[in-house]
């Protein structure tokens, strides 16, 4: 029930001109309401499930590709450049710092020691979750 429209049945989706998943929702509604018999396979649960899994997979891959593209172009932009910018430490780990550089909108990990090793620059206290400068002790 949609209170504002005062209708007993209601669904929400975006315009079908934007995403294939929205076209599928339109087609499924049309088949379910009996307005269109062009896509009867959409009523088959297994086929619909497979279609949804494929759509979700492709959506994830598109997101990964977008992120990879941003990372790639960021590397190209900074290649051969030495920049001195303000940054903020977001997290402190045993062997790394998670840093935010607001000017570029970058969040990156600065490894201070190889994976599995503890940095000799900082002491890590797991119980208190703080970092302090080491004085020759780990």
- pLDDT digit string (tens) for 82-135? 888 899 999 888 788 899 999 988 898 988 877 777 666 666 565 555 444 444
Beta bridge partners of 89: 99
DSSP 64-78: HHHHHHHHHHHHHHH
CA distances from 52 to 17, 26, 42 (A): 18, 14, 11
- pLDDT digit string (tens) for 19-69? 888 888 888 888 988 898 888 899 999 999 999 999 999 999 999 999 999
DSSP 12-29: ----TTT-HHHHHHHHHH
pTM: 0.57
89 near 80, Cβ under 8 Å? no
């Amino acid at each position: 029930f949609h209170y504002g429209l005062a209708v007993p049945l209601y669904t929400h989706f975006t315009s079908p001109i934007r995403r294939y998943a929205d076209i599928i929702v339109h087609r499924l509604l049309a088949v379910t309401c009996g307005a269109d018999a062009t896509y009867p396979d959409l009523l088959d649960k297994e086929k619909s499930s497979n279609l949804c899994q494929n759509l979700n997979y492709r959506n994830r891959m598109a997101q990964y590709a977008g992120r990879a593209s941003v990372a790639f172009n960021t590397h190209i932009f900074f290649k051969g450049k030495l920049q001195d910018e303000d940054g903020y430490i977001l997290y402190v780990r045993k062997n790394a710092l998670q840093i935010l550089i607001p000017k570029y909108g970058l969040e990156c990990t600065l490894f201070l020691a190889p994976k599995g090793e503890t940095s000799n620059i900082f002491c890590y206290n797991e119980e208190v979750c703080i970092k302090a400068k080491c004085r020759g002790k780990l």
